[in-house]
Amino acid sequence: MHGRVKIKSTAQQEEEKRKEREKKLKAYVSARDAVLKKRGAGEHDEEALQLTQQLLSSNPDFATLWNYRREVLLHLETLREKDEVQKLYESELHFIEACLKVNPKSYGCWHHRSWVNTRLPQPDWTRELGLCDRCLSLDERNFHCWDYRRVVVKESGVSVEQELQFTDRLIGSNFSNYSSWHYRSTLLPQLHPQPVPDSAPNTSPSPTTSPQFHSHRVCEEQLLKEYELAHNAFFTDPNDQSAWFYYRWLLGRAEREEMISCVYVSREGERVSVAFSKPVHAQSEGLMLVVDGQPQQVHWRSAHPRFRHSAVWLCDLPPGSISDISNEHNLTIHWTEKHTHRDCALYTGSAESWCRDSATDQELFRSELSVEKSSVLQAELQSCNQLLELEPQNKWCLLTIILLMRALDPLGHEKETLAHFQSLKEVDPMRSSYYSDLCSKFLIENTILKMEYAEVRVFSLSNKNLTTLCHLDQLLFVTHINLSSNQLLRLPPQFAMLQCLEVLEADDNAIESLEGLYHLPKLEEVSLRNNRILFSKKSKCFYKKPLFWCQSQCLIWPCFKDSVFSINKQIQTYSSAKFCYSPLF
């Protein structure tokens, strides 16, 4: 037919391409061999640069070649004048740019670029910043470029304001960008730091220029603007998590100060228990016990032998040192590492004594969100509720509302919180276990608060759909605990912190493991009806051996007043059956 342009067939094209590839591969392999040979021979000349350039421009991820290039450049640097060196490295930068076009996420390229800039007599940081901007405009999530940009910003001394504007720009073009939001969270505390009240204890070292050492809080005025920004983002697209994460950061996360929260001493067991606000490693932290002015040589051990770090540490006093009930003793725990200490007096006639901060005093469980002003939180809660009306199915909104409610008034909002948890599990069934655990945590916190208002040592959490246990370090004095009719799978090792526990009821759960029942010195009665305690022949753990425990519906251990260790021993030496009282036997 007339004038029809003849085009090569696909097979022809394929064949040509294959030949092309073969040729390329041959050239590549021979160049690679030549380069490696040269490197082996220790040759550092222009030819080496050319050869590596050839190879790297087709495969920029060949790390060995970048290394070789650096060796060559360092060698050439010694031979040349300063302005020649400048030129040498500038052409190197051009070359890297070409390589970045081949693979904008090449580790080798970006690293080499940083290195070249450190060698360059007069680095042009503005140009580098421009390169980053271009790169990020092509792919705003290229973390290699973000990393490199941080180096450039640091070296070129770009002002924090400019950087904040930079994040404004990126967030403006697409707010679904964790890097930008996160960058904001490091810039804001530098630009608008929260004024430090004079009375606040100065625990942090002298301020430095690095953002890491700044207070992570932002002044209120700026904070309100940021809330607005986050509102705009999550009202625009409530399913985009990046803004929600930023919002969570804005609401703050208080770090609990490390301190000794409680000291408990029991005359009968001749034992001291110390609870900390965070898990610590007491042996290395320099914990010292002074009784009546006399430093004691004691051996500190964690509540459960499996924990190297623990919130509760125990030690046994030398026999007879405090057992006489008519004597009064003054104990002091020194925590040398943190320059702090805590006193506890054991008065005449009392069998035990303690000294503690109560959860209510510290507003312990509100500290998840550290924005102090409840008026601000109240306003934020309103905004979120407004969004929830429009988007009743949005999990991020539900979760944020729960957190805000807890920060405001955990007990007052308990009912609403539970309802929201229920909706959360429905809209996000994939994470229902997470929500259950979180809900358990909040319920335990609320119960601890209620218990402390009532000043009792009985802790009842039955029928609350608990799936996990936490904050057990707060229950150091509890004597009776009722965990019946929940969905607990195990009594975790942390259970060993309940040093005063006498009666445990945990019927109607799904408990499989009883690890935490070790080491409870005062435990007298355990009820584990209707659970799923496993039987395993291989396991040496005592509680897994007797099958009849679970079959029997009931297990009561009478009068275990001996130490935990003796229980252990007896179980290993005697048959469990003899040891247990059960209606079946």
Report the side by side order of strands in the sheet with 294-296. 294-296, 287-291, 329-335, 340-346
Total binding residues for another protein by CB under 8 A?
36
How near is the Cβ of 174 to another protein at its closest, in Å?
6
Name the one range near another protein by CB under 8 A: 39-47, 172-180, 415-423, 510-518: 172-180
Helix, coil or strand: residue 278:
strand
Q: How far is the CB of 3 from another protein (least distance, A)?
A: 4
Of the pair 106, 509, the CB lying nearest another protein is at: 106
DSSP label at residue 341: E
Residue 210 interacting with another protein (CB under 8 A): no
Which window, 74-82, 115-123, 144-152, 168-176, contacts another protein (CB under 8 A)?
A: 168-176
Min separation Cβ 72 and another protein, Å: 24
If one asks whether residue 57 binds another protein (CB under 8 A), the answer comes out as: no
Q: In the complex, what is the shortest distance from the CB of residue 390 to another protein, in angstroms, rounded to a whole number?
A: 5
Among the listed residues 116, 151, 149, 153, the one whose alpha carbon sits nearest the alpha carbon of residue 132: 149
By three-state DSSP, how is residue 346 classified?
A: strand
Stretch that binds another protein, among 171-179, 305-313, 416-424, 446-454 (CB under 8 A): 171-179
50, 159, 174, 575: residue in contact with another protein (rule CB under 8 A):
174
131 is an interface residue for another protein by CB under 8 A: yes
Nearer to another protein among residue 133 and residue 220 (C-beta): 133
Q: Is 18 in the site for another protein (CB under 8 A)?
A: no
C-alpha of 368 from chain center: 13
| Nearest distance in Å: CB 115, another protein | 18
CB of 89 to another protein, least distance (A): 15
Closer Cβ to another protein, 92 or 507, answer by number: 92
Q: Which position has the token pair 């941080």?
A: 150
Is 155 a residue that touches another protein (CB under 8 A)? no
Strand pairing report for 525-527 and 503-505: parallel
- Give, as ranges, the residues between 388 and 447 that touch another protein (CB under 8 A): 390-391
Residues facing 503 on adjacent strands = 480, 525
Answer yes or no whether residue 378 interacts with another protein by CB under 8 A.
no
Minimum distance from residue 232 beta carbon to another protein (Å): 5
- Beta bridge mates, 490: 513
Helix extents (H) in 209-331: 220-236, 241-251, 282-285
Site for another protein in 230-249 (CB under 8 A): 231-233, 235-238
Per CB under 8 A, does 295 bind another protein?
A: no
Residues 85-124: x/- map of binding to another protein (CB under 8 A)?
------------x--------------------------x
454 touches another protein by CB under 8 A? no
Sign of the alpha-carbon dihedral angle for 169, 172, 178, 182: positive
Interaction mask 333-372, another protein, x per CB under 8 A:
----------------------------------------
Interaction between residue 4 and another protein (CB under 8 A): yes
A 10 A CB-CB count for 295 gives 11
Nearest to 300 by CA among 104, 289, 479, 554: 289
Least distance in angstroms from the C-beta of 60 to another protein: 17
Q: Which of 40, 172, 197, 205 binds another protein (CB under 8 A)?
A: 172
Question: Judged by CB, which is closer to another protein: 33, or 237?
Answer: 237
Tell me which residue of 248, 251, 247, 249 sits closest to 230, measured CA to CA.
247
Task: Give least dist CB 66 to another protein, A.
Answer: 20
8 contacts another protein (rule: CB under 8 A)? yes
Residue 184 or residue 217: which is nearer to another protein going by CB? 184
Query: Which is closer to another protein, CB of 5 or CB of 430?
Result: 5
Sign, CA dihedral 366-369-375-377, equals negative
1 binds another protein (CB under 8 A): yes
**β-strand 310-316 against 301-302: which pairing, if any?**
antiparallel
Pairwise CA distance, residues 399 & 168, whole Å: 26
Task: Supply 565's token pair.
Answer: 């260790």
DSSP-assigned letter for residue 209: S
- What's the closest the beta carbon of residue 127 comes to another protein, in angstroms? 6
- Does residue 66 contact residue 56 with C-beta atoms inside 8 Å? yes
**Nearest to 65, CA basis, from 57, 148, 22:** 57
Torsion angle (degrees, nearest 10) of CA 444, 447, 448, 453: 170
- Least CB distance from residue 389 to another protein, whole Å? 9
Length of the chain: 585
Contact at 8 Å (CB) between 535 and 544? yes
Q: Residue 317: count other Cβ atoms within 10 Å of its Cβ.
A: 21
Query: Strands across the sheet with 260-266, in order?
Result: 301-302, 310-316, 271-280, 260-266, 352-356
Q: Contact between 162 and another protein (CB under 8 A)?
A: no
Member of 387, 399, 443, 451 binding another protein (CB under 8 A): 387
In the complex, least distance from residue 289 CB atom to another protein, rounded to whole angstroms? 57
3-state SS, residue 248: helix
Assess contact for 428 and 403: CB atoms under 8 A: no
> Which residues form the interface with another protein (CB under 8 A)?
1-9, 13, 97, 124, 126-131, 133-134, 172-175, 231-233, 235-238, 383, 386-387, 390-391
